[in-house]
Amino acid sequence: MDSLLKQHLIDPEICIRCYTCEETCPIDAITHNDDNVVVDADKCNYCMDCIAPCPTGSIDNWRLVTKSYSIEQQFEWQELPDQEDLGDADSGALNEALDKEISDLLEHAHSGTGGKPIAPESAAQPSINLYSTSKPAIATVQGNYRLTDEDAPTDVRHLILNFGETVFPILEGQSIGVVPPTNNTSGANPIRLYSVSSPRDGEKQNANNIALTVKREEHGACSNYLCNLTKGDLVEVSGPFGGTFLMPNDPNSNIIMICTGTGSAPFRAFTERRRRAAPGAPGKLMLFFGARTPAELPYFGPLNKLSSDLLEKHLVFSRLENEPKEYVQDRMTAHAEAICTLLKNEKTHMYICGLKGMEQGVEDALEEACFHHSLTWSDVKQNMRSSGRYHVETY
Ligand code: NAP
């Protein structure tokens, strides 16, 4: 009998073609053409690095096959094929043994990365993939405000989108997708994802609207499209996406939030949710937020107005004149004791969002902090991760 393979496949009906998996794959086993994003069975080694970053879950599909589907076959698919009939092997001991071997392999791969991310236990159930790029929700621009100073070198905007009568349920920590209209010369634009920066009950409470935090990138097709929108413009929106980077509903939860620049978007949503739904909650909110200067820190004014009872703020600047460069991880080291006190509490959640580059620095700071406070960061992280209390979203 031919040998069996558990083949890793991407569901073309759910995939939003954001190419995050392709960018994440360390061995270039994922590729795409104009139609589909596919996994090359000859290269995939089940490392699982691509699973967590996928915003839709389309990446997590498997078929037991006697002969793997080629990438050319996968490029043609409109939908995933059914599990093939494996005949005798289907019910045979060999199949079972192989399945077990493969699941052990997958388990091993997960344990190396700390396990598949899971949502906080008390998080609300998210709605996912209600709208696609081919069947988008249409939102109307309600406002577009500059968040950074007029003379600051970065243009970061607070964009408010109203869904009118369209149902678009979205939780803090989830993202939406936008495809900018094509200009005829450059072909189709890929989808871009933005975290909502408003809480679940709307940017304005009980209004059917959301807010986004968008930084204008010099050659960014989508960021320029969004940053140039004016009141009344219509935008095609897909999503909601993301089922794990969610806020715990439990008001006893402590939440440590670490971000740079526009990575602050979900934390504005978390903070506003706590302020509206449980303002006197026993759980502590602690924010470490890095930007170059106050003029470039999104929401600097409003953040400063929030009471320290609601949010312990650490606004950290890397390019202040006549001041040494400070990154979020430096400030965390300075507050190692307070952080470790929270880490010893099973109700503490940690979220990291923003520049990929800060991840290692934050890891190192946490490792050192734990070392000096009778904790082992790798154990703490593993425990938090497996109980849905540790989340990273960096780009
Ligand atoms: P940025 O302005 O480029 O940087 C913010 C701060 O991070 C600066 O002070 C920068 O310092 C500092 N920084 C640079 N390297 C660092 C490191 N290794 N460790 C710690 N801090 C470091 O940030 P941005 O352009 O807004 O980028 C934010 C990221 O968040 C982007 O990758 C974006 O994709 C992502 N994001 C955005 C959203 C959204 O909804 N818009 C949501 C989630 C994530 P120096 O420049 O002085 O070195």
pLDDT at site 170: 97
Q: Which pLDDT does position 6 carry in this prediction?
A: 77
With a pLDDT cut of 90, the percent of the chain lying above it is: 72
Indicate the residue among 113, 129, 153 that finishes a domain. 113
Q: Are 273 and 352 within one domain? A: yes
Task: Assign residue 152 the CATH number of its domain.
Answer: 2.40.30.10
State the pLDDT at residue 112: 45
* Structural domain includes residue 119: no
pLDDT at 134 over 90: no
Q: Is the CB of 265 under 6 A from ligand 1?
A: yes
Cα-based distances in Å from 176 to 158, 218, 219, 241, 246: 15, 22, 21, 6, 14
**Among 82-91, 127-136, 165-174, 327-336, the least confident range:** 82-91
Q: Are residues 258 and 389 both part of a single domain?
A: yes
| Residue 286 belongs to a domain | yes
CATH classification of the domain holding 45: 3.30.70.20
106 plus 67 within the same structural domain: yes
pLDDT band at 91 (very low <50, low <70, confident <90, very high): very low
Q: Within this chain, do residues 177 and 277 fall inside the same structural domain, yes or no? A: no
Q: Sorting pLDDT into bands at 50, 70 and 90, what band is 47?
A: confident
* 354 CB within 6 A, ligand 1: yes
Say if residue 98's pLDDT is above 50: no
pLDDT in tens, 192-219: 999 999 999 999 999 999 999 999 999 9
Task: Please report, for the domain that includes residue 279, its CATH number.
Answer: 3.40.50.80
d(CA 339, CA 348): 10
70, part of any domain: yes
Among 18-22, 272-276, 337-341, 358-362, which is the least confidently predicted range?
18-22
The last residue of a domain, from among 78, 113, 148: 113
In a domain, 72, yes or no: yes
Domain extent for 44:
5-113
Give me the number of domains the chain comprises: 3
Q: Are 230 and 288 found together in one domain?
A: no
55 SS3 class: coil
Ligand 1 site, residue 357, Cβ cutoff 6 A: yes
Crossing angle between the packed helical segments 336-343 and 358-371, to the nearest 10 degrees? 80
Could you tell which of 213, 214, 262 is best to mutate to test the pocket of ligand 1, judged by most ligand atoms within 8 Å of the CB? 262
Same domain for 215 and 163, yes or no, is: yes
Residues 167 and 229 in one domain: yes
Nearest CA to ligand 1 atom 2: 261
Angle at 296 between CA 198 and CA 228, to 5 degrees: 65
Q: Is 319 in the pocket of ligand 1 (CB under 6 A)?
A: yes
**Greater pLDDT, 191 or 3:** 191
CA distance 148 to 146: 6
Segment 237-261 shows an average pLDDT of 96
φ/ψ of 269, rounded to 5, equals: -65, -45
273 lines ligand 1 (CB under 6 A): no
Neighbours of 87 (CB within 10 A): 10
User: Given pLDDT bands bounded at 50, 70 and 90, which one contains residue 5?
Assistant: confident
Calpha distance 168→163 (Å, rounded): 7
270, 370: one domain:
yes
Rounded to whole angstroms, the Cα distance separating 96 from 136 reads 42
80 and 142 belong to one structural domain: no
Summarize pLDDT for 280-292 with one digit per residue, the tens: 999 999 999 999 9
Q: Is residue 123 part of a domain?
A: no
> How much is the pLDDT for 235?
97
296 shares its domain with 389 = yes
Ligand 1 touching residue 361 (CB < 6 A): yes
The predicted structure's pLDDT at residue 1: 43
Q: Using most ligand atoms within 8 A of CB, pick from 355, 360, 391 the residue to mutate for ligand 1.
A: 355
